[in-house]
Chains A and B, each alone.
Chain A
Amino acid sequence: MTFAIQTLIDAISVGALYAISALGIGLLFGIMRLVNFAQSEFVTVGVYTLMMLANAWFPLAALAAVVVVVLLALTVERLAFRPVRNADPATLLIASFAVSYFLQNGLVLLFGARPIGFDVLPGLGQAIQVETVRIPLLNIVTIAATSTLLLGVGLFLRLTRTGIEMRAAAVDFRMARLMGVKADRVIAVGFGLAGIMSAVVSILYAAQTGTASPAMGLQLALVGFVATVIGGMGNLPGAVLGGLAVGAISVLLQAVLPPDLRVFREAFVYAAVIAVLLLRPQGLFRSAAERERV
C-alpha cells in the first residue's frame, strides 16, 4: 500500500516535469511546426547557470537562470530559426538538431563533458511523513511549481490578447497571419514562454539531481516531443496530459515490471506511443470528429 501511494506520488511528480517540457515543445510545434530539440539545451543551460551560482542567494540564482534561458531562447529564435521559418518541418527539425548540437558542444567546450556536482535548494531534500508514506518536499514543490506554471501559461493563453493570438497561431499559423496575427511577435513570445518553462524545469531538475552535465536535457525534450504526439499535434492541453501520461506510465512500468523486463521500460513506453499513432493518429486527447473537417 505504502509502495503504491509512494509510486503514485513519484508518477505525478515525474509526469509534472514532463508536462512542462511537453507544453514548451507543443507550443512551438503548434505555432511553427518546429520540433524544438534545442529545448533540451535551454534546460541544460539553465542548470549550468544554477551550478555557477550555486553559492549565491538562491532567488538570485533562480532569476539569473530564467533570464539567461529566456535570452538564449530569444537569441536562438532570432539567429537560427527565423531565417528558416518558412521551410518545411523536416528542415526545421534539422535546424533544431543543429542548434542543439552546437549548444551542447559549446557547453562541453566551456565546462568539459564531465558532470559537475553542486547543491541547490538542499532544504528540498527534506520530507513530510504522512503515516507510512514519505513525501519529499521536492516532489511537493515540483507538483506545485508545475501546476502554477501550467495554470499561469493556461491563463495567459486563454485571457490575454497575445495568448489568444498564440492559440490561433497554434491551430492554423497561416490563417492566423492572414487574420493579422504578427508572426514575429507570436513566435518570439512562444520562444520566451518556452524559455521560462525550460528555466523552471532546470531549477527543479537541478534541485533533484545536483548535477550539471551537457546532455542532461535531451531526455526531457524527447519526452516532450513524444507527449505532444500522444496529446495531438497543436493541442496544448493534450500535450500537457501527454507529458503527465508518459511520466506516469514510465514510473508505473518501472514499478510493476519484473526486473528482467524493466530494462525494456522505454521500449514499452515507445511501443505505447506507436500504438497511439496507429490507432489514434489525431492524438489521445482529441476526438476523431473534431479533426475530420480539417
Chain B
Amino acid sequence: MNTASQHLVAEAISVRFGGLEALRAVDLAIGPGEIVGLIGSNGAGKSTLINVLSGFQRPTAGAVKLGDRPIGGLSPHLVARAGIVRTFQAVRLFQDLSVVNNVAAAAAALGGSLSTANTLIEMLGLSDLRDQRAGSLSYAHQRRLAIARSLALKPRFLLLDEPAAGMTPAEVADIKAILLEVRENTGTGMLLVEHNMSLVMSTCERLVVLDSGRVIARGSPQAVRRDPAVRASYLGEVSGEKQ
C-alpha cells in the first residue's frame, strides 16, 4: 500500500440544495494520523462536507475516495464499516441506554467485547458514569460519549462535528488531550469541525477554511491565522463574537 491509498480524499466536491450552492469544488485530503481542522462561519458548509464524506449526502459533483477506492456511492453504514466514522452536531446518542451500553452496542457490531467498551469509556473519562442513562448526562459528557462510541468502531478516520460545543475551557482541554491520545494510540486520522479556535489552532496540523461553500484558505494554523481573507470573513467575526 502506498501512502496515497491510505488517505481519505474528497475531490472537487460540489453540493447544491436547489438554488443554494452549499459546497463548490472543495478538495480535501486527510492522511492517517493527521488532524485536519475545518473551520468557517455558520452555514459555510462544514457539516455538509462531513455529510458527503460519511455517505449521508450525495454530492452533486465530485468524488470521495478512501485510498483508491471510490466510496461516494456507499450508504452511511457501509462507509462506517469501511472505517470512516462520524459524530453529529446533534450528538444522537442512544438515550435510553446506559453509557457503557452505548459503546457496547457499537463494539458488539464489530465483535468487540464489553471490556472494549469499558476501556473506551475509561479513556474518555466516563467510568464513573458507566451505568447512567445516556440521556441523563450533561451536554459535555454526551459529546464525550459520542466520541467513545465512534471509537468502538476502530475508525481509520474520525469526522468530528463540533465535539467541543458548549464545553468549559477545562472540558475543552480534556477533549484535546483525548483526541491527541487517540491519534497517538491508533493512528486515526481526524477531521475536526470546530468554532473553538484555541482548540483548532492547538490541535490541528492543517486547517481548511470554508466560506459560502468555497475553500478560501488552507495551510498551517499560523498561516491561516495570518491570511487576510480569513481574518476578514471569519476570524475577526469570531473574535468579535466571543469578546
- A–B interface present (Cβ within 8 A): yes
Residues of chain A touching chain B, judged by Cβ–Cβ distance below 8 Å, are 161-162, 164-165, 167-168, 170-172, 174-183, 234-235, 290, 293-294
Question: Does the CB pair A165–B108 fall under 8 Å?
Answer: yes
Interface residues of B in 46-101 (CB under 8 A from A): 76-77, 80-81, 85-86, 90-92, 94-97, 101
A171–B5 CA distance with the chains assembled, in angstroms: 36
| Contact flag A180-B80 (CB < 8 Å), given A164-B108, A165-B105, A168-B105 | yes
| Cβ-neighbour of A179 out of B90, B95, B105 (below 8 A) | B105
- Distance from A165 Cβ to chain B, minimum over Cβ atoms (Å): 5
B152 touches A179 (CB 8 A): yes
| Cβ-closest chain B residue relative to A170 | B96
B104-A175 in contact (CB<8A) = no
- Pair A162/B105 contact, Cβ less than 8 Å: no
Given that A290-B135, A290-B136 are contacting pairs, would A176 and B95 also be in contact in the complex, using a CB cutoff of 8 Å? no
Point out the residues of chain A lying under 8 angstroms from B92, CB to CB.
172, 175
5 contacts between A and B (CB under 8 A): A161-B104, A168-B94, A174-B76, A176-B105, A179-B105
Asked whether B97 lies within 8 Å of A168 as measured between CB atoms, the reply is yes
B102 on interface, CB distance cutoff 8 Å: yes
Residues on A with beta carbons closer than 8 Å to the beta carbon of B96: 167, 170-171, 234-235
Interchain nearest-CB distance for A132 vs B (Å): 44
- 0/1 per residue, B99-122, Cβ < 8 Å to A? 001101110111000000000000
Knowing A177-B76, A178-B76, A178-B77, the reply to whether A162 touches B108 (Cβ < 8 A) is yes
Report if B7 contacts A (CB, 8 A): no
List 17 additional A-B contacts (Cβ < 8 Å) besides A168-B101, A183-B77, A234-B96: A164-B97, A164-B108, A165-B105, A171-B96, A172-B94, A175-B92, A178-B85, A179-B106, A179-B109, A179-B149, A179-B153, A180-B109, A180-B153, A181-B106, A290-B136, A293-B95, A294-B95
Whether B97 contacts A167 by the Cβ 8 Å rule is yes
Residues of A within 8 A of B86 (CB): 178
Complex Cα distance, B166 from A113, in Å, reads 63
Asked whether, in the complex, the Cβ of B81 is within 8 Å of the Cβ of A180, the reply is yes
Complex Cα–Cα for A182 and B136 (A): 27
**Which residue of chain B has the shortest Cβ distance to A167 in the bound complex?**
B97
Please indicate the chain A residues that have their CB under 8 angstroms from the CB of B77 in the complex.
177-178, 180, 183
Residue pair B97, A171 in contact (C-beta under 8 Å)? yes
| A141, B25: Cα distance in complex, Å | 68
Query: Least Cβ distance of B99 to chain A in Å?
Result: 12
Q: Which residues of B contact A177 (CB under 8 A)?
A: 76-77
Interface size class of B (residues with CB under 8 A): 20 to 34
Q: Give the CA-CA distance A162 to B104 in the complex, in Å.
A: 10
* Residue contact B105 to A182, C-beta cutoff 8 Å: no
Q: Which of B101, B109, B150 has the most CB of A within 10 A?
A: B109
Report the separation of the CA atoms of residues A294 and B90 in the bound assembly, to the nearest whole angstrom.
Answer: 8
Report yes or no: B94 in contact with A181, Cβ–Cβ below 8 A. Answer: no
Q: Find chain B residues with CB under 8 A from A294 CB.
A: 95
Return chain A residues, CB-CB under 8 Å to B85. 178
Q: Which residues in A have their C-beta under 8 angstroms from that of B149?
A: 179
Complex CA–CA separation, A178 to B92 (angstroms): 11
Query: Which chain B residues numbered 121 to 164 have a C-beta less than 8 Å away from chain A?
Result: 133, 135-136, 149-150, 152-153
Residues of chain B contacted by A290 (CB below 8 angstroms): 95, 133, 135-136
Q: Is the CB of A181 within 8 A of B95?
A: no
Within the complex, the shortest CB–CB distance from B83 to chain A, in Å, comes to 11
What chain A residues lie within 8 Å of B106 (beta carbons)? 168, 179-181
Closest to B90 in A: A293
Interface centre among B80, B90, B108 (most CB of A within 10 A): B108
Closest B residue to A158 by CB, please name it: B101
Contact indicator B135/A181 (Cβ below 8 Å): no
A183 to B77, CA, bound (A): 10
Give the interface centre of A165, A170, A174, A178 by most chain B CB atoms within 10 Å. A178
Of B95, B104, B110, B153, which contacts A164 at CB under 8 A?
B104
Residues of chain B within 8 A (CB-CB) of A164 are 97, 101, 104-105, 108
- Give the residues in chain B near A293, CB-CB below 8 Å: 90-91, 95, 135
A177 vs B150: C-alpha distance when bound (angstroms): 12
CA distance A176 to B103 in the complex (A): 11
Bound Cα distance from A175 to B95, whole angstroms: 11
Q: Which partner residue on chain A sits nearest B114 by CB separation?
A: A161
> In this complex, what residue of B is CB-closest to A162?
B108
Chain A residue with Cβ nearest B77: A177
Q: Are B95 and A165 in contact (CB under 8 A)?
A: no
**Which residue on A lies nearest to B104, using beta carbons?**
A164
A233 to chain B, nearest CB (A): 11
